[in-house]
Structure 1
Amino acid sequence: MKTYIYSLCICLISLSSFAQSSQKGKITGAMLDENKKPAEFVTMMLVHATDSSLVKGAVTDVDGNYEFDQIPEGKYIIAASMVGYKKLYTKPFSISQANLQVALPVMQLEIDAKNLKEVVVIGQKPFIEQKLDKTVVNVENSIVSSGSTAMEVLEKAPGIMVDKDDKISLKGKQGVIIMIDGKQTYLSAEEVSNMLRNMQSNAIEQIEIITNPSAKYDAAGNSGIINIKLKKNKNMGMNGNLTAGAGYGKLPKYNGGINLNYRNGKFNVFGNYNYGYNERFNTTELNRVVNYENEVSLFDQYNRRTSRFNNNSYKVGVDYYLDKKNTFGFMANGFLNSGKMNVVNNTDIMDGSGNLKSNVALLNNIENSWKSMAYNLNYKRTFDSTGREFTADVDYSKFMGQGNDNIRNYYYNSVGEETQVPLLLKSDIPSEVDIKSFKADYIHPLGKTAKLEAGVKSSYVVTDNDVKFDLFRENSWEVDTTKTNHFKYTENINAAYVNFSKELSKIWSLQLGLRAEQTISKGNSITLNKVVDRNYLEFFPSVFLSQKIGKDHQMAYSYSRRIDRPSYQDLNPFVYFLDLYTYFQGNPFLKPQFTNSFQVSHTYKGGFTTTLGYSHTKDIFTQVTIQDDQTQITRATMTNLDTRQNYSLGLSMPIPITKWWSTNNNVNVFYNQFQSTFLDEQLDNSQLAVNVNTNHTFILPKDFTAEVSGFYNSPFVEGILRGQSMYAVGFGLQKSFMSKKATLKLNVNDVFNMMRFRGAINYSNMDLRISNKWESRQARVTFTYRFGKNDIKPARKRATGLESEENRIKMGN
């Protein structure tokens, strides 16, 4: 491991040195307002003089100065814009080896001037953007993500790992909160997994990864927040796009969608619909050793699942700008998905010498359906030009799922003869989640350098799982009382927060936050007559401090306390079968876990970012296995371990190699240590692990663009499990045509078919190994056509509307 890390660092340093050794230019200038005073916060855009494509953006500082550095040779123009002022443009100028330092004349803003003919900016965001407070994955512009699902895109994101059960961890920590358009899903881990596996990437604009959220976000999520922002067109007039695609790995898949938008001075109406058909397979191999009364039994279990899914998702909404100060909005979204799965499971039971003793074969035909409907009403009031504003959101959503199993178990001896009557089971598994939420936020500026934010939120969640199992016995079906279970769970969270931020000087900025959350929950297993009531109030402070060191360096320091509550599925004592010898069961006595996180980050020239973090989690809940040697059954469940300590080091390195080749590299090194008393033994499981993501973009002649991406996850630990390394390489090619209104994308994921999960548990009386493989290598072709009016005009009202939507999304929780 040390050799690998050393070699990796040498490679990255060499790349960085190569990128910095080429001679790049520097551009400086200054802006004045109408009174000839320094103009701050003016947007400056550096564009190519030949085709007006965006090169880099900047904002003037408090002294009105701006700067662009590391600019390659070429001919450029700078466009300056600010709401309420005339757009300004410099004369064309050049960067060359003979003229690397360009000082432009001072520019002065003018009020109420006529609009000049604007520069049409044709820029493409990188797949991964590292910002000070978050990492942004630009799904909309990515070639390698075209035609994929949301889960497959997350697998490529820096610092994110997806295990064999589709559980998501961020920088080595599970407990990530998944949000859609800034709103928490409230779904269980399995339901979130199904949603992400069936959500098409062409419906996604961006994915935001927030590792240390402020107090205005929900306190849930010890490792952070993943916010999936769905597409919403922001252009004026009528416009939209059509998408169609097809793919194949070992099984076929295809998708299509339409996105429409109409916007004028008062209204913005938008909507989209996406459809996907996906066939896939998954295989799991499980090898166990059971030692009971000096007799060794070897279990060799093989499970293969093939599935077919039909997925429909939609989103519609309208924004109404009553006047300059009041904006109302309504949005509805949801999905309607269905699937069928065929499961074949074979279990060979052998003696200690490997001789076959018996065999159990399981067949299961599963039918599932899921549908969700969510509605949002929102309002924004802007009081004055200082930034004082009030926003409110009312949300209601309902999730309904239905599952049916048809399980057949057959028993054979060593020579293939049936030894007993087949065991036949069937199940009816309905699930309902009902969510109501209200929140309000208020922002009050305190002068020019300080701001006070405050807000309240209340959510009420009701879930109902009435699982019924029937057993075929003596030529008739009867209720299996050992597996049937009716479980209800209610949760009410009431929260309030306050944030204070202030620029202490030109160098230091401070933000202090405090959030209080009262949790009232009740888990009621009606069948088992088990009730768990909880009522607790907790406080979650946060501190953020930023420091500017010269023009090129910026430091940030942060602390926050967070909570994770068990999902209702993990609390539900219902039994989920893999086979007769392996099953999962919920734990109604799970406690919430609490995490204290510290983070220090350094940013160099707005691009190279280094982050150092530490977190301590108490009562961490994680999945474990418990083996009964007498019955030879292994049960998986969730339990609370005493503590987990996480140390992390993250590096983000965007490196422009040439004019036509740019690369973004992310390295995350983390050390996890789990300590607890579990199964009457002392657990001390730790591992140093590495996650590496690299993305390369190539601008080719004749409107071709190519991407190559790859990731590597080193061995890791999670509770009592030790996982092995995972890695993959992807490739994409894009062609633009029809005046760049149409694009055709070809991409191949996991080109070398290397992705698989492998892990082992050697703890207490358990000795087991697991291997999981899925259809990771897939080739896809995607066609997109944009139509309608797509020019972006500098209307003042429209800019305010954009701010309204963006702020509402950012502040939503």
Structure 2
Amino acid sequence: MKTLLLPALLLLALNTMNAQEKETTNETSLETVVIKKQKKIIERKVDRLIYNVENSTASTGGNALDALKSAPMVRVQNEAISIVGKGEVLIMIDDRLQKIPASEVAAFLKTIPSDNIKSIEVITSPPAKYEAEGNNGIINIKLKTAKSNSWNASVGTNYTQRFYAGNGVQGMFNYNHGKLSLQSSVYVEQQKFRSNSQTNTYYQNELWSMDTQSISKNKNLGISLGADYKITDQWTTGVKYLGSFSTENGSSSPLTSRMNYQNSQPNSFISSDTESSNKPNINSLNWFNTIKMDSAKTVLTTDFDFFEYKKDDARDFYGSELDAHMQTLPGTYFSALNSNLNKIHNYSGKADLETKLSWVDLNFGGRFSFTRTDNNFSAYDKETGTTVLNTDQSNTFIYKEYNEALYFSLSRKFNSQWEAKLGLRAEATQTIGFSENRNQTDKNDYIKLFPTAYLTYTMNNNHSFSLNYNRRIRRPDFDYLNPFVVRTSPFYYSEGNPYLKPSIIDNLEFSYIKGQKWTSSLYYSKVSDFGQALSILNPETNVTRNTPMNYADTYQIGFSTSYNFSSVKWWNSFSGFNVNYQNVKSKVPYTASIDGYNAYLYSNNDFTLNKKKTVSLSVNYGLQLPGRYQIFHISTMNILDVTIKVLCLDKKFSVSLTGTDLLNSQRPLISYQSNGIDTNFRNNNYTRGFRLSLSYRFGNNDMKSKDRNFGNEEERNRMNQ
């Protein structure tokens, strides 16, 4: 790093003098006068809301997951990301879908420094151009690039204190001169975590109460590299690489008390200890081309992507049953080691063409994708003291998926008031799953159509109405389709379901915008063949079977509204609430049909505390009211994060202090019923803490020399743990 900083600082000093001379000349030349206007923190477009992270207090010292916590309409709870009123979402980086396993999304986002994020786009109703995968919208993270004829860099570090301490360092370097643009960033983080969970299962004869204490150590490394080259004025090509490398080692000690209802005393106990390790590695490579034709009225874009995911994890556990006096019961000892090597490779290519005709704007294209996932699961029995391979439980599962898509969309602005957009996407999918242990092959082949429609009426500058409809699909997570059985105790096992079908989602939304301040929406959605993992409790054996299935059709109607307050220069606020009614119509005997309401209120606020705009304060608050989500009832939960940020040294050096979960209440009680048996659980991940971040940025914004200085800046989600 020192070898880069020294020439960079010398170059900065030389170009600063040149910039001052240039500034003097510009005072007498009207042609070179540039009026700069800082972008608003919040912007709205027809199909998305844009949060300009670089203009907020969330832009320094953290990572992409931290920045999402401050984004309007985005909710981050226990590192699960969702859009308010929608649910978990797909993540895109620079318009390219990141199909990483759901269990690894948070770790991946932690490897992207927030200093490298330009904006976050919240897309609640994706148009036909985007893949139909996912039922809950898309979050698109746009990364920074250097301005023309300039280079810039930043270095930073942070210290985090929750129950345990953690730290991270990051660096970013961008270069843009002539036809060449380079981008790079690196982020390294390590953190130790503590968590506690309490689960109560109300069997007919006993209450099973399980308390689990867990400790884990995480290390994350993220690397981003990119190069764009302007071959001609009309043709730009480039490559981008994203790498995410994580290591997690953990231990937990579950203790289950089997309580007598009559005297509230324990009848017996189940004690166990677990050691686990998890090492997910992600490599993503993209080659893109943008070709402008017909005076930029026609634009052709191509993308070719390669994605590799490799995870090597192991779980070593042992335990036994104890009597009421905590003495080991004979013949109850259990011990096993489970290891799994999971590899996923994805290859895809797509082409998009946008052109402006005399009467309509036309957008059409196609995409091809091939995914192969290999699971090599090994189970070892250790009850005799000798590790022996269990051939009945070990299994190799190979899954292949082919996906082809064609789409088109037409949009036209009829006059100053009316605008419409229609689209249709067709996707064909072929899947082959092979279980070596069962010698079982399962195939699936289907074609689905996904229409989209948007209609906007702008009465005047203060009133705008829009109506949109789209259809989406949620394909099963790759791991869900693996039929093999994984046992983690004598009373719990999980297995996949190769017959799991995709879910089809129909969304209808009516929106009203008043004066670019108020945004309100009335929405309806139907999910056919809703699928997820269910914990099915057996009341006779007290054994829990966890397996995914298409267990219900779900219906939801809701209302959301938000207000952007920016009437004073020193305060920008984005506040709102969402309330909806959900009806779950069960299709299986394990869970009953159920309905109910839920509501969520939030307010994200940025304050500028001095005239020089060098001291700012961010206060973000969310309140989850008690209510129903799918088959679960969730109790009240409060979220409060506060950040104060100070800029100095000509706003190049920043110091920020963030307090997270200050109310210490991100641990709601969640309850549900399975086979007529009531269960509830509460997780405490000790999220209350603070983060101190330091960052320094430097660069040259007026680089005219021909000498090269140095410098700058699709695909994944459906896999589950």
TM-score when scaled to structure 1? 0.79
For 2:165, the equivalent position in structure 1 comes to 252
Q: How does 1:209-220 map to 2 (within 5 A)?
A: 209-220=122-133
CA distance in structure 1 between the partners assigned to 2:268 and 2:339 by the alignment: 30
Aligned length: 678
CA displacement 1:213-268 (0-9 Å, x = unmatched):
11111011112112233444345322111121111011111111111111112111
606, 611, 615: which is aligned to 1:697?
606
For 1:299, the equivalent position in structure 2 comes to 208
CA displacement 1:8-49 (0-9 Å, x = unmatched):
xxxxxxxxxxxxxxxxxxxxxxxxxxxxxxxxxxxxxxxxxx
After superposition, the Cα gap between the structure-2 partners of 1:530 and 1:692, relative to the gap in structure 1 and judged at 3 Å, is: farther
CA displacement 1:428-468 (0-9 Å, x = unmatched):
21111101000001112112x52111101001011111111
Offset at residue 584 of structure 1 (A): 3.8
Is residue 535–residue 674 contact of structure 2 (8 Å, CA) maintained in 1?
A: no
For 1:10, the equivalent position in structure 2 comes to none
Tell which deviates more after alignment, 554-563 or 410-419.
410-419
Offset at residue 418 of structure 1 (A): 1.5
Is residue 623–residue 638 contact of structure 1 (8 Å, CA) maintained in 2?
A: yes
1:360 partnered with 2:270: yes
After superposition, the Cα gap between the structure-2 partners of 1:233 and 1:711, relative to the gap in structure 1 and judged at 3 Å, is: farther
Q: How does 1:436-515 map to 2 (within 5 A)?
A: 436-447=347-358, 450-515=360-425
Q: How does 1:102-141 map to 2 (within 5 A)?
A: 115-121=31-37, 123=38, 125-126=40-41, 128-141=42-55
Tell which deviates more after alignment, 498-507 or 573-582.
573-582
For 2:315, the equivalent position in structure 1 comes to 405
For 2:292, the equivalent position in structure 1 comes to 382
For 2:11, the equivalent position in structure 1 comes to none
CA distance in structure 2 between the partners assigned to 1:212 and 1:735 by the alignment: 37
TM-score when scaled to structure 2? 0.89
Is residue 249–residue 777 contact of structure 1 (8 Å, CA) maintained in 2?
A: yes
Offset at residue 470 of structure 1 (A): 0.6
Tell which deviates more after alignment, 212-221 or 720-729.
720-729
Q: How does 1:19-168 map to 2 (within 5 A)?
A: 115-121=31-37, 123=38, 125-126=40-41, 128-143=42-57, 146-161=60-75, 167-168=80-81
1:734 partnered with 2:645: yes
After superposition, the Cα gap between the structure-2 partners of 1:245 and 1:655, relative to the gap in structure 1 and judged at 3 Å, is: same
Tell which deviates more after alignment, 603-612 or 172-181.
172-181
SS in 1 for 2:108: helix
CA distance in structure 2 between the partners assigned to 1:700 and 1:197 by the alignment: 29
Is residue 157–residue 693 contact of structure 1 (8 Å, CA) maintained in 2?
A: no
1:643 partnered with 2:559: no
For 2:248, the equivalent position in structure 1 comes to 339
SS in 2 for 1:569: helix
CA displacement 1:708-740 (0-9 Å, x = unmatched):
110112233333222222211111111111011
Offset at residue 576 of structure 1 (A): 5.4
After superposition, the Cα gap between the structure-2 partners of 1:225 and 1:441, relative to the gap in structure 1 and judged at 3 Å, is: same
After superposition, the Cα gap between the structure-2 partners of 1:148 and 1:787, relative to the gap in structure 1 and judged at 3 Å, is: closer
Offset at residue 751 of structure 1 (A): 1.1
For 1:183, the equivalent position in structure 2 comes to 96
CA displacement 1:567-599 (0-9 Å, x = unmatched):
111222345566543444332221111111111
Letter in 1 for 2:651: K
Is residue 378–residue 391 contact of structure 1 (8 Å, CA) maintained in 2?
A: yes
CA distance in structure 1 between the partners assigned to 2:320 and 2:374 by the alignment: 33
Offset at residue 364 of structure 1 (A): 1.2
CA distance in structure 1 between the partners assigned to 2:328 and 2:583 by the alignment: 48
SS in 1 for 2:57: coil
CA distance in structure 1 between the partners assigned to 2:619 and 2:93 by the alignment: 28
Offset at residue 413 of structure 1 (A): 1.2
Letter in 1 for 2:176: R
Offset at residue 180 of structure 1 (A): 2.6
For 2:13, the equivalent position in structure 1 comes to none
For 1:722, the equivalent position in structure 2 comes to 633
Q: How does 1:568-583 map to 2 (within 5 A)?
A: 568-575=478-485, 579-583=489-493
1:752 partnered with 2:663: yes
After superposition, the Cα gap between the structure-2 partners of 1:238 and 1:157, relative to the gap in structure 1 and judged at 3 Å, is: closer
CA distance in structure 2 between the partners assigned to 1:174 and 1:118 by the alignment: 43
Offset at residue 750 of structure 1 (A): 1.1
Tell which deviates more after alignment, 475-484 or 241-250.
475-484
Q: Which runs of 5+ in 1 are unaligned?
A: 1-87, 90-112, 794-801
Is residue 111–residue 223 contact of structure 2 (8 Å, CA) maintained in 1?
A: no
Q: How does 1:578-657 map to 2 (within 5 A)?
A: 579-656=489-566
Is residue 581–residue 596 contact of structure 2 (8 Å, CA) maintained in 1?
A: yes
CA distance in structure 2 between the partners assigned to 1:584 and 1:173 by the alignment: 28
457, 465, 470: which is aligned to 1:560?
470
306, 317, 322: which is aligned to 2:226?
317
Offset at residue 304 of structure 1 (A): 1.8
Identity %: 26
Q: Which runs of 5+ in 2 are unaligned?
A: 1-25, 705-711, 716-721
Offset at residue 482 of structure 1 (A): 4.5
1:540 partnered with 2:444: no
Offset at residue 143 of structure 1 (A): 2.9
Is residue 156–residue 711 contact of structure 1 (8 Å, CA) maintained in 2?
A: no
Is residue 599–residue 613 contact of structure 1 (8 Å, CA) maintained in 2?
A: yes
1:529 partnered with 2:442: no
Is residue 623–residue 719 contact of structure 1 (8 Å, CA) maintained in 2?
A: no
After superposition, the Cα gap between the structure-2 partners of 1:285 and 1:142, relative to the gap in structure 1 and judged at 3 Å, is: farther
SS in 2 for 1:674: strand
After superposition, the Cα gap between the structure-2 partners of 1:174 and 1:698, relative to the gap in structure 1 and judged at 3 Å, is: closer
Offset at residue 199 of structure 1 (A): 5.2
SS in 2 for 1:587: coil
Is residue 319–residue 327 contact of structure 1 (8 Å, CA) maintained in 2?
A: yes
After superposition, the Cα gap between the structure-2 partners of 1:427 and 1:358, relative to the gap in structure 1 and judged at 3 Å, is: same
Offset at residue 694 of structure 1 (A): 0.5
Letter in 1 for 2:342: S
CA distance in structure 2 between the partners assigned to 1:638 and 1:318 by the alignment: 42
Letter in 2 for 1:546: T
Offset at residue 370 of structure 1 (A): 1.6
After superposition, the Cα gap between the structure-2 partners of 1:156 and 1:674, relative to the gap in structure 1 and judged at 3 Å, is: farther
Offset at residue 178 of structure 1 (A): 2.4
Is residue 390–residue 441 contact of structure 1 (8 Å, CA) maintained in 2?
A: yes
CA distance in structure 1 between the partners assigned to 2:692 and 2:34 by the alignment: 35
After superposition, the Cα gap between the structure-2 partners of 1:275 and 1:140, relative to the gap in structure 1 and judged at 3 Å, is: farther
CA distance in structure 2 between the partners assigned to 1:478 and 1:420 by the alignment: 22
After superposition, the Cα gap between the structure-2 partners of 1:395 and 1:386, relative to the gap in structure 1 and judged at 3 Å, is: closer
After superposition, the Cα gap between the structure-2 partners of 1:193 and 1:532, relative to the gap in structure 1 and judged at 3 Å, is: farther
